[in-house]
């Protein structure tokens, strides 16, 4: 791991890819327009990135369709496709520092986290799906003599992927690795706040041997490029991670166009329930802090609602306040920093509106201020509110920042009822040393993932996604391949 000066020196020497990547080459937007990619820690412009719109999306979809129709990718033997994606995983590891810096500079996350979690995770997920390619079997249905019924799993065609800014490289990987492994072509639209790592990923994919047109990247804005992708008549599937409102919009686009499949993974307001029978409250406090302050709280499954049994609530709050005090924001390029910058000015102001309103409705335990580094940047202190009511916006709305709402409870039934009292159902955590309670509560929580005695557990082997208005898409695991394939029955009559 580089030190602070080492990361700064490495950042100074970066070359940013700023054009769209369509049909195997970098290209300007048809309109010639660009937008600024801004470092939220300093306000500096990193690059002027091609501003793609409907014309560019159409070029990318046309290239993706052509690549799919001629079979240059999906008709390759499984071993050859596997080798390409394994090579891409290796290239991500070889360029790990660069990719970590791109995400850190682009959206403000700690370079330490990007280098030890995000970029290695991206390589791991490409490797995992590559290794799955030649281990997926079709089926033979039971029939009578003279009939052979094959159930084939086939790629859909052109997959549009619209990904958020909080984990730019990882989210691009979660969508594209599975879609490519299934044999599809992909048109990827990264968030306008964080396009740089997706563009570099496409370049590395080409270097790994992915044929032209199979992976295309169109940076741009949601209202133009995102909308065009959602409405395009030749996109077969749209995979999306982002806000609930935008997820609903993509489903409307599907109905207005070609009835394309839409797989939304949307908002969250995840509860974390700490029972008094939890024997290791220090571990629970460590993970409760991590669950809301990691990545500046810009995590869809962040444990932003903390329910603590009344008998231990004040003692637990004291532990949390100590941990928050030790997690103050700093330069994202300094490995010693505990929190980075908020992605942009708009998001920072939105977080602070929640904080200022919360000061009038709840008890501010710690934090609550916007800060700067040498007079610059979008930084918010880790903030904890206590005595929050269940109907307070602090407890109901997705803030997407380092703001924790603490609510007390007396009984298990009360905790479960409050935890489920949300339009979201992405994730939840439960802390208890009672195995029966852990199983009982996990069963009753209406969420996609329940983490017991930890927070936000995930792996390549397990599906990630939610219920209710957190959407019904699923990333990771073999189950995610269901999103990017269709079942085709081939029925053969033969002479007996």
Backbone phi, psi, residue 353, to 5°: -65, -40
Residue 48 CA, distance from chain mean position: 24
Whose CA is closest to 102, among 49, 169, 53?
Answer: 169
- According to DSSP, the residues that pair with 453 across neighbouring strands are none
Are the C-beta atoms of residues 247 and 471 closer than 8 Å to each other? yes
- Which residues have C-beta within 8 Å of that of residue 131, sequence separation ≥ 6? 82, 86
Whose CA is closest to 484, among 81, 153, 71, 251?
Answer: 153
Say how far apart CA 92 and CA 126 lie, in whole Å. 9
Catalytic residue set: 265, 300
Say how far apart CA 287 and CA 304 lie, in whole Å. 12
Indicate the burial class of 346 (C-beta count within 10 angstroms; 0-12, 13-18, 19 or more). exposed
- Which residues have C-beta within 8 Å of that of residue 55, sequence separation ≥ 6? 29, 30, 31
Say how far apart CA 194 and CA 46 lie, in whole Å. 11
| 409-417: long-range contacts, CB 8 A cutoff, minimum separation 24 | 409/273, 409/307, 409/308, 409/309, 409/310, 410/309, 410/310, 412/275, 412/437, 412/440, 412/441, 415/273, 415/275, 415/307, 415/309, 415/441, 416/273, 416/441, 416/444, 416/445
Which helix (H) or strand (E) covers residue 111, if one does?
helix 111-113
Q: Are strands 305-309 and 271-274 parallel, antiparallel or unpaired?
A: parallel
- According to DSSP, the residues that pair with 263 across neighbouring strands are 239
Whose CA is closest to 190, among 159, 157, 168, 212?
Answer: 168
Q: Three-state SS string across 414-476, please?
A: HHHHHHHCCCEECEEEEECCCHHHHHHHHHHCCCCEEEECCCCCCCCCCCECCEECCECCCEC
Instruction: Provide the phi-psi class of 446: left if phi over 0, else alpha when psi is between -120 and 50, else beta.
Output: beta
Whose CA is closest to 301, among 454, 121, 408?
Answer: 454
Are the C-beta atoms of residues 104 and 332 closer than 8 Å to each other? yes
């Amino acid at each position: 791991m580089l030190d602070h000066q080492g990361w700064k020196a490495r950042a100074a020497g970066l070359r940013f890819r700023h054009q769209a990547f369509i049909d195997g080459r970098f290209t300007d937007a048809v309109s010639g327009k660009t937008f600024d990619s801004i470092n939220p820690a300093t306000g500096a412009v990193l690059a002027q990135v091609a501003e793609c719109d409907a014309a560019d999306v159409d070029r990318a979809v046309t290239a993706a369709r052509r690549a799919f129709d001629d079979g240059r990718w999906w008709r390759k033997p499984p071993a050859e496709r596997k080798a390409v994606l394994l090579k891409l995983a290796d290239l991500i590891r070889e360029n790990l520092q660069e990719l970590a810096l791109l995400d850190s500079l682009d959206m403000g996350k700690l370079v330490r986290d990007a280098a030890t979690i995000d970029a290695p995770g991206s390589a791991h997920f490409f490797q995992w799906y590559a290794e799955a390619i030649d281990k997926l079997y079709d089926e033979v249905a039971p029939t009578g003599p003279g009939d052979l019924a094959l159930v084939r799993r086939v790629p859909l065609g052109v997959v549009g992927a619209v990904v958020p800014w909080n984990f730019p490289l990882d989210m691009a990987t979660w969508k594209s690795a599975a879609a490519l492994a299934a044999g599809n072509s992909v048109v990827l639209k990264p968030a306008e706040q964080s396009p740089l790592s997706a563009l570099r990923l496409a370049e590395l994919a080409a270097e790994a041997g992915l044929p032209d047109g199979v992976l295309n990247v169109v940076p741009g804005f949601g209202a133009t490029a995102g909308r065009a992708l959602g409405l395009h008549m030749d996109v077969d599937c749209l995979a999306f991670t982002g806000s609930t409102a935008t997820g609903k919009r993509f489903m409307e686009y599907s109905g207005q166009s070609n009835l394309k499949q839409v797989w939304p993974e949307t908002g969250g307001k995840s509860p974390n329930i700490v029972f008094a029978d939890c024997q290791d409250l220090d571990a629970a406090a460590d993970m409760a802090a991590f669950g809301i302050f990691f990545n500046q709280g810009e995590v869809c499954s962040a444990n932003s609602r903390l329910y603590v049994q009344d008998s231990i609530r004040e003692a637990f709050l004291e532990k949390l306040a100590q941990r928050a005090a030790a997690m103050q924001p700093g330069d994202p390029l300094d490995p010693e920093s505990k929190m980075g910058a908020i992605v942009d000015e708009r998001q920072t102001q939105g977080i602070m509106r929640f904080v200022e309103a919360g000061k009038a409705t709840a008890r501010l335990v710690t934090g609550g201020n916007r800060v700067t580094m040498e007079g610059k940047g979008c930084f918010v202190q880790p903030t904890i509110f206590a005595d929050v009511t269940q109907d307070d916006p602090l407890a109901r709305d997705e803030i997407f920042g380092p703001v924790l709402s603490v609510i007390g409870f007396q009984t298990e039934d009360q905790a479960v009822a409050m935890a489920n009292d949300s339009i979201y159902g992405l994730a939840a955590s439960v802390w208890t040393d009672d195995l029966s309670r852990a199983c009982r509560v996990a069963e009753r929580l209406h969420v996609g993932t329940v983490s017991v005695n930890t927070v936000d557990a995930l792996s390549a082997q397990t599906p990630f996604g939610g219920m209710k208005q957190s959407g019904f898409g699923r990333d990771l695991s073999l189950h995610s391949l269901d999103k990017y394939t269709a079942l085709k029955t081939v029925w053969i009559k033969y002479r007996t």
